[in-house]
Chains A and B, each alone.
Chain A
Amino acid sequence: MRTKVLTGLDIAHKIEQKLAGAVEEALPEFAMIKADRLIETLMYLRDDEELNFKFLSSLTGVDRLEWFEVAYHLESFKLNQSTCVKVRTFDRETPLVPSVVTVWQGAHLQEREAYDLMGIYFDGHPDLRRLFLWDGFEGFPLRKDYLGMPGGLMPGLERFPGEPGVELSGRGTE
């Protein structure tokens, strides 16, 4: 037996049937949900008999350069299925997303981590403070424009030094 993966399109379809207008965008990998309809959508996903997503497997914040998004990977034990929904912040300046602690308690620590490292504020979280870094740390390290990145806002690497076709320059000489 294998876990049935509900694609973003399936999930979007199911959500639209119950809560019209909640889904912003639906791709095969995930379904993007509007921020103001997030909590009721997730409660529906958790409580519905055919979906039964009672287990929040992972809550991840991603920095998409123009906005932030939070990915929720959900699982159901009884029906052995899994899916992925996402929510995005409006833009980079106001990274505010509703907190899902009322839906799954396991989101408590993970939202604190997303706040601490990525700077996404969760509206309604009972205890939003820094987790890994100390109080008074300036900035949010996992953001792409954090001070430590060489060359400023440069996600990852374009060409790895030493690859054929790229001349070997020392690291960090930009």
Chain B
Amino acid sequence: MFLLKGEWYDLRDLGNTVGGLLDDLRDIGAPDWTIYVTSSLIGAVGILLWTVLSCLAFIWIERRVVALMQNRKGPNRVGPAGLLQPVADALKLLLKEAVTPRSADRVIFWAGPVLIFIPALVVFAVIPFAPKMTLADLNVGVLFLIAIAGINTPAVFLAGWASNNKYSMLGAMRTIAMLISYEIVQVLALLGPVLFVSSMRMGDVVAWQDHFNTWIFFIQPVGLLAFIIAGAVETNRSPMDISEAESEIVAGYHTEYGGIKFGFFYQAEYLAGFAIAASIVTLYMGGYTLWGLEDYVPAWLIFLGKLYTVFFVYIWTRGTLPRLRIDQLMAFAWKFLLPLMLINALVVGAEVLIWRENDIDATPALLAIGAVNLVFGAILVAGWARFLGHGTGKQRGQRAILTQEVGAVHFTPEPAP
């Protein structure tokens, strides 16, 4: 296996194949810009194909998995075991009439789905799928991630506002408030890996995790939790799908969209979910490395496996948890997660400083950091929750009083919150 290393048929890293092709192009004397354009085209088309195919597959997987959690079967009629259901869905959306309301702002209405789709897709440019499979390994990769994810906010608002519909407006307003709050939490959570690695390049983060043989997950548990929650909010996934809360405002900001325009929203939600899962895998879970297994198994397969596992956790929470109210969600972000993340950044900075200054050996340092972070994080989460009033008796469930006397009154007025 190692004999194949680096040759163009070494499929453990598809970058080798592309590299071989580019070398051939260079040999026949093509100018530099053609090589550049070719390589980026191949990368972009590859990512596009992969995301679309994954999305189709996950439509089926999500519906089946959520159905199993609800004690029923999912789609199993269209095609063998329902496998052609996504195809049927896609065909239906393509063939439906995409109605534009007469009083909607036509240009922005048209631009809404496009604007939502773009950030979800572009984020994949900086994700390393394998050692040589990063479309653009910018040395400010993490910053790029955050910046592009920020385009989500105005896109959602424009979609809701252009619909000229009160439900959509409500959904859009809620979404902006939500997305802005959780972006701050997300950025602060990302400080953890960046401080440890002292670089913003995504490839460097993976290399650091490979070099020290550890995942940043083990030394940053609270940060990962906050990033997962913030990620769920950023991509409007349940339990934070308030902007499209079906039982309240029908479909929120994409109420008025039909046909393939809705298809774009639907797909963009999956893509954004994949993007967040990809960032989690890269920054916290070791990327494409698996403690040496990437010498045998193709690295991008390991990466995809991890990505799908993280995405499965999102599907799991969707099938299980009810939805929070918007003000409760905001209170959670500002009062709970934000102070937590600030303290986290402080602690990480202190740890990194102590490590570097005193030039401690890697393994005991990392073990110590992991233990301290875990214990300190648990104490902080529990303590802060208690300080804010959660976890006390007020939040416990209570059963009804059972009585036999008719006409008695057992009322205790609720103490004002």
- How many A-B pairs fall under 8 Å by CB? 7
CB neighbours of B407 from chain A (8 A): 77-80
Total interface residues on A, CB under 8 Å, equals: 5
Total interface residues on B, CB under 8 Å, equals: 2
The distance in angstroms between the C-alpha atoms of A77 and B407, with both chains bound, is 5
Say what secondary structure dominates the interface of chain B: loop
The distance in angstroms between the C-alpha atoms of A78 and B407, with both chains bound, is 5
The distance in angstroms between the C-alpha atoms of A95 and B409, with both chains bound, is 39
A1 located at the interface, meaning its Cβ lies under 8 Å from any Cβ of chain B in the complex: yes
CB neighbours of A80 from chain B (8 A): 406-407
The distance in angstroms between the C-alpha atoms of A173 and B6, with both chains bound, is 96
B294 to chain A, nearest CB (A): 70
B-contact bits for A65-85, CB 8 A (1 contact / 0 none) = 000000000000111100000
A53 to chain B, nearest CB (A): 13
The distance in angstroms between the C-alpha atoms of A102 and B367, with both chains bound, is 73
The distance in angstroms between the C-alpha atoms of A20 and B406, with both chains bound, is 34
The distance in angstroms between the C-alpha atoms of A81 and B61, with both chains bound, is 60
Nearest residue (CB) in B for A3 is B406
The distance in angstroms between the C-alpha atoms of A78 and B409, with both chains bound, is 9
The distance in angstroms between the C-alpha atoms of A79 and B407, with both chains bound, is 8
B411 to chain A, nearest CB (A): 13
B409 to chain A, nearest CB (A): 8
B75 to chain A, nearest CB (A): 41
B399 to chain A, nearest CB (A): 23
The distance in angstroms between the C-alpha atoms of A79 and B406, with both chains bound, is 9
Nearest residue (CB) in A for B406 is A80
The distance in angstroms between the C-alpha atoms of A145 and B215, with both chains bound, is 83
CB neighbours of A79 from chain B (8 A): 407
Which chain B residues numbered 396 to 415 have a C-beta less than 8 Å away from chain A?
Answer: 406-407
A-B contact pairs, 7 of them (CB 8 A): A1-B406, A77-B406, A77-B407, A78-B407, A79-B407, A80-B406, A80-B407
Closest 7 A/B residue pairs (Cβ): A77-B407, A78-B407, A80-B407, A80-B406, A1-B406, A77-B406, A79-B407
